[in-house]
Amino acid sequence: MTSAGHVQNETGQPYVGLRAFRQQDRGLFFGREREAREIATLWQADRLTVLYGASGVGKTSLLHAGVLPFLGSDRVDILPVGRVAPDPALLVSTTPVRSVYVLSLLSSWSAAPPAELAELTVRDYLDQRPARVDRYDDPIPTLISIDQAEEMFTGAPYRESDLEEFVAQLADALQAHAGLRLLLSMRQEYLASIVPFERVLGQGSRSWFHLLPFRREAALDATRRPLEGTDRRFGENAAELLVDDLQTVTIHSEQGEKTVLRVSGVEPVQLQVVCSALWESLPPDVHEITVDHVRLHANVDRFLAGFCRRMLREVAERHGVPEGSIRSWLRRTFITEHGTRGTAYEGLHQTSGMPNALVRSLEDRHILKAEYRAGARWYELQHDRLIAAIRHTDPETFLQAARTALSRAQWTHARELTEDAVRTAEFDDLGVRAEAEAIFGDVAVGTGDPATAWRRYDAAAEMFAVLQRADGVGRVLAAKGRLSLNLGDYPTAVSALSAAVARVPGDMSAQTALAQALWHVGQPRSALIVLNGALAVGGDALLDALALRGVILADLDQPEAALRDLDLVRQHQQPATLAARALALALAGRFDAAEQEAADAIANAGSNGPVLLRAARIRVILGNAVAGADLAAQAIRADDPALPEHLREQARRLLPPPN
């Protein structure tokens, strides 16, 4: 059944890890020789063979890498392994489809367009195939199989008629083709669903095969023998220790009591996981795997968590998407509310909102697997054991991704990521809840809901205070101050931002916001003191601080100092800074340049009070008091933003005296 010269798979190692074995992996597939031989015999002899077992026991691997290679293609006519998961797109298709299960099965066998296959029955398709005979001109059996056949019974009730039509077509084909044999591979919990159809499909010739976990000797074969084609081997008692560990189950009760059980079987998927982890963790110069290597590296849960973390980090770095965003998408797309695997089909450019290039990278790294069904690529998690690894992660991963989403104004995504962080955190993890409330507040600000934002910020500040996290309290107070600033409540903004800066003195953005609030309440010189201190320390809001200081210096008639700052931010100028620079140029006597820049600022000013006032002052400096008065009047009426009171008084002085 296996080749004499074993070869490593495409990952460069002799174990396949989480994914199922494929037919080309037959040289690495051990421990199932007896089962493969018995199933092959039953499949050829009986009209219906049902292969069943628990999830993860290796049914798909056995079928592809054990049974099919054992049969070969000279003694039997074998069609590709089929799947019958319905494609939801077919349910709304304009092409008449008698059974989505039939079309799905035929799509597994043929690359023809669904529109062509929709016109065929199972019997029609088989009738079109040329008959195969052996060397004595006797017809050879035709073997068809359906993997994960439980998919026939997991649809909604409105697919019952599709199922009945599908079974009728299979029965018709089995009746018409004497040499046709059907194998159904399915999870054992769905066995009761196949019983009503057993008689019509088996037609008096049927068998069942229960696939169990590895027994000890088979597990040792599956552990040791894949290394025969490598320069490594297991040392004394090392493989035995690995299998012993897999046969040992530790149970922790709610009262903290520990019970250690010894089980008779070894789950094949767990064996592949730990062997793969062990192989990957060994230094290159290790040729004998010792018991110490097994004790250090053969841990399923730890490997799964580390495996997911490494693969997702690689994909995140390659595609520029936060790891938390990818993990959240996997949770929402491929894990159902019942904790089972879900599916998603690949669209033209995206799969459930994620770029196809990124999804293909996840497939390459064995996080997802893809299958063609009814002419479309469908994705699901590589294995059920990945569900827990994806669900349970460090909440900070989600929080960091949520902050990235905030920076990109992706409000809904930021909220979803934060909800994931809260769900994955321990119930009493106040730190995560505090960070989450702060992000929820930022989302509310972004979506135009200041009342909710204020409530969320208050909750976050209380939690940070309980934790004695001055930095957290400071960040939330800064956020409240910015919210007040945006709402035009400048005294509240000054109070909140002053408290924030006292707690987080190194936050340059908070200091810049405080200076802006002080300028709005008529304290420009206090604002300059704050900005001077912030710029002396430096930080990530350098350009904003320079621009604001330049604006205030221009308003205080200090043109040379203003121009030094404003010249440094010329590539990032807004109408406000452009008007301030124009005013500084006029005050410095550079009238032509001032007039041009003032015109540019006014063109984009809209109803910006400070911009209009600076333009008014420039007109007066240039000798046009009438134009200056007109612009000053517009500045007083402006509301986006309105003039602070100290500048409003300055504007009134430019108006002509009342008659």
Mean pLDDT confidence for 94-122: 85
| Residue with more model confidence, 593 or 160 | 593
- Give the span between the Cα atoms of 126 and 290, in whole angstroms: 54
Count of residues for the chain? 659
- Give the span between the Cα atoms of 445 and 409, in whole angstroms: 11
The pLDDT of residue 560: 94
Q: Whole-model pTM?
A: 0.56
The model's confidence at residue 17, banded by pLDDT at 50, 70 and 90, is confident
Backbone angles phi, psi at 335, to 5 degrees: -125, 120
The model's confidence at residue 370, banded by pLDDT at 50, 70 and 90, is confident
No. of helices (H) and no. of strands (E), the chain: 32, 14
Return the CATH fold of 32-210. Rossmann fold (3.40.50)
Is 5's pLDDT higher than 50? no
The pLDDT of residue 257: 56
From 251-255, 508-512, 565-569, the region with the lowest mean pLDDT: 251-255
- Give the span between the Cα atoms of 209 and 194, in whole angstroms: 14
The model's confidence at residue 72, banded by pLDDT at 50, 70 and 90, is confident
The two three-digit tokens of residue 526, written as one number: 């206090």
Mean pLDDT confidence for 35-40: 97
pLDDT tens profile 486-531: 998 999 999 999 999 999 888 888 999 999 999 999 899 999 999 9
Distances (CA, A) of 138 to 76, 132, 133, 175, 515: 11, 8, 5, 19, 94
Mean pLDDT confidence for 50-58: 87
Between vectors from CA 462 to CA 457 and to CA 467, what angle results, nearest 5°?
Answer: 125
pLDDT tens profile 323-357: 889 998 998 899 887 777 889 988 989 999 999 99
The model's confidence at residue 88, banded by pLDDT at 50, 70 and 90, is low
Query: In terms of DSSP bridges, do strands 142-146 and 180-187 run parallel, antiparallel, or are they unpaired?
Result: parallel
From 9-18, 99-108, 194-203, the region with the lowest mean pLDDT: 9-18
Question: Contact 69/203 with Cβ under 8 angstroms?
Answer: no
- Give the span between the Cα atoms of 624 and 615, in whole angstroms: 11
pLDDT tens profile 410-450: 999 899 889 888 877 766 789 999 999 999 999 999 999 99
Is 253's pLDDT higher than 50? no
Question: Contact 17/11 with Cβ under 8 angstroms?
Answer: yes
Question: Contact 259/251 with Cβ under 8 angstroms?
Answer: yes
Highest averaged pLDDT of the listed ranges 28-42, 68-82, 140-154, 393-407 = 28-42
The pLDDT of residue 367: 85
Domain made up of 302-391: CATH architecture: Orthogonal Bundle (1.10)
The pLDDT of residue 515: 93
Is 540's pLDDT higher than 80? no
Give the ranges where 46-110 is alpha helix by DSSP (H): 59-61, 68-71, 88-91, 100-109
Give the ranges where 488-541 is alpha helix by DSSP (H): 490-503, 508-520, 524-537
Note if the bond before 322 is cis, omega within 30 degrees. no
How many other C-beta atoms can be found within 10 angstroms of the C-beta atom of residue 320?
Answer: 7
Any idea where the domains of the chain sit in the sequence?
32-210, 216-295, 302-391
The class (CATH top level) of 216-295 is mainly alpha
Sign of CA dihedral 492, 493, 495, 499: positive
The two three-digit tokens of residue 319, written as one number: 């595609």
Coil, strand or helix at 111:
coil
The model's confidence at residue 157, banded by pLDDT at 50, 70 and 90, is very low
- Give the span between the Cα atoms of 270 and 509, in whole angstroms: 51
Mean pLDDT of the residues in the chain: 87
Long-range contacts of 110-113 (CB under 8 A, 24+ apart): 113/375
From 14-28, 321-335, 420-434, 584-598, the region with the lowest mean pLDDT: 420-434
Which residue, chain included where needed, has tokens 């008065």? Answer: 629
